[in-house]
Structure 1
Amino acid sequence: MKHAVAARGAVAVVVAALALCGCGASGGDGAGDGGSAGKADAGPTAAPADGIRAVKAPKRFSTDRAVVLPDSAGEGNVAIAGVQHPLPIALHKGVAYIARPDGLEIASGYVDSDPVLITPRREPLSRLDDLGPMVGGNTARKPLVTEHGGTTLVLSALVGRVPGEGTTKGHDALELMATDTSQGTKAWSAEVPLAERHYSVEEGQSEVVGRSGGTVVVMGHGQLFGIDLDSRRKVWSAPGTFQEGAVLAGDTVVGLRLDEDGTDRRVVGLDPATGKQRWSEPRLAAERLSAAGPETVVASGYVTDDRDDGALLLNAASGDEVRQFPEDTAPDGECSYDGVSVTVCTYTDQVAAYDAATGEQRWALPDEAGTRAAPKVTLVREGLVYGTTAENGPVVVDAATGEDVETRPGIAPYVSDGYVGVALAEESHAVTAYRTRS
Structure 2
Amino acid sequence: MKHGMAARGAVAVAALALCGCGSSGGERAKDTGSGGKADAGPAAPPAEEIRAVKAPKRFSTDRAVVLPASAGAGNVAIAGVQHPLPIALHKGVAYIARPDGLEIASGYVPSDPVLITPRREPLARLDDLGPMVGGNTAREPLVTEHGGTTLVLSALVGRVPGSGTAKGHDALELMATDTAQGTKAWSVEIPLAEGHYSVREGQSEVVGRSGGTVVVMGHGQLFGVDLGSRRTVWSAPGDFQEGAVLAGGTVVGLRLDEDGTDRRVVGLDPATGRQRWSEPRLAAERLYAAGPETVVASGYVTDDSDDGALLLDAASGDRVRQFPEDAATDGECAYDGVSTTVCTYFDQVSAYDAATGEQLWALPDEAGTRTAPEVTLVREGLVYGTTENGPVVVAAATGEDVETRPGIAPYVSDGYVGIALAEEDHAVTAYRTRD
Matched, 1:123 2:128: no
Asked if the contact 1:17/1:43 (under 8 Å) is kept, the reply is no
| Aligned-CA RMSD value | 2.3
1:359-378 matches, cutoff 5 A: 359-378=357-376
Which residue pairs with 1:400 in the alignment? 397
Q: CA deviation at 1:117?
A: 0.2
CA distance in 2, matches of 1:8, 1:135: 30
Structure 1 residue ranges without an equivalent (≥5): none
Contact preservation (8 Å) 1:6, 1:36: no
Q: Provide the rounded CA distance (Å) in 2 between the counterparts of 1:358 and 1:12.
A: 46
Amino acid at match of 2:349: V
Structure 1 pair 75–430 and aligned structure 2 pair: CA distance change class (3 A): same
Q: Percent identical across equivalent pairs?
A: 83
Q: Number of residues paired by the alignment?
A: 432
Conserved 8 A contact 1:120-1:175: yes
- The equivalences for 1:250-269 within 5 A come to 250-269=248-267
Q: Distance in 1 between matches of 2:238 and 2:384?
A: 37
Match runs of 1:268-279 below 5 Å: 268-279=266-277
In the alignment, the residues of structure 2 paired with residue 8 and residue 433 of structure 1 have an alpha-carbon distance, to the nearest angstrom, of 21
Structure 2 counterpart of 1:61: 59
Kept in 2, the 8 Å contact 1:344–1:380? The answer is: yes
Task: Evaluate the alpha carbon distance shift between residue 3 and residue 414 of structure 1 in structure 2; reply closer, same or farther with a 3 A threshold.
Answer: same
CA distance in 2, matches of 1:18, 1:304: 51
- Counterpart AA for 1:59: K
**1:428 corresponds to 2:425:** yes
Written as runs of structure 1 = structure 2, the 5 A alignment for 1:21-420 is: 21=20, 30-33=31-34, 48-389=46-387, 391-420=388-417
1:36–1:119 CA contact under 8 A, matched in 2? no
Match of 2:10 in 1: 11
Alignment TM-score, normalising by the size of structure 1: 0.94
Deviations 1:255-281 (A, max 9, x none): 000001111000000000000000000
Aligned partners of 2:10 and 2:183 also within 8 Å = no
Does the CA-based 8 Å contact 2:3-2:33 persist in structure 1? no
Q: What SS does the aligned partner of 1:243 have?
A: coil
Compute the displacement of 1:52 (Å): 1.0
Amino acid across the alignment from 2:272 = T
Task: Confirm or deny: 8 A CA contact 1:31 1:187 kept in the other structure.
Answer: no
Distance 2:38 2:102 in 1: 11
Q: CA deviation at 1:33?
A: 3.9
Q: In 2 relative to 1, CA 13–332 (structure 1 residues): closer, same or farther, beyond 3 Å?
A: closer
The TM-score, its normalising length taken from structure 2, stands at 0.95
1:313 to 1:154, Cα distance in 2 relative to 1, 3 A: same
TM-aligned CA deviation for residue 21 of structure 1? 1.6
The 4+ residue runs of structure 1 with deviation greater than 3 A are 2-20, 26-40
Cα 1:285–1:86 shift into 2, 3 Å: same
Confirm or deny: 8 A CA contact 1:289 1:299 kept in the other structure.
yes
Does the 8 Å contact 1:4/1:35 carry over to 2?
Answer: no
Letter in 2 for 1:412: A
| Distance in 2 (alpha carbons) for counterparts of 1:48 and 1:120 | 34
* Rounded Cα–Cα distance in structure 2 between residues aligned with 1:14 and 1:124: 25
**Unpaired stretches in structure 2, ≥5 consecutive residues:** none
How many Å separate the matches in 2 of 1:301 and 1:38?
52
1:339-362 deviation digits (Å, cap 9, x = unpaired): 000100000100010000000000
Please tell me whether the aligned partners of residues 279 and 317 of structure 2 are also in contact (alpha carbons under 8 angstroms).
yes
Give the Å deviation of 1:3: 4.2
Secondary structure at the aligned position of 1:268 is classed as strand
Give, in angstroms, the shift of residue 74 of structure 1: 0.2
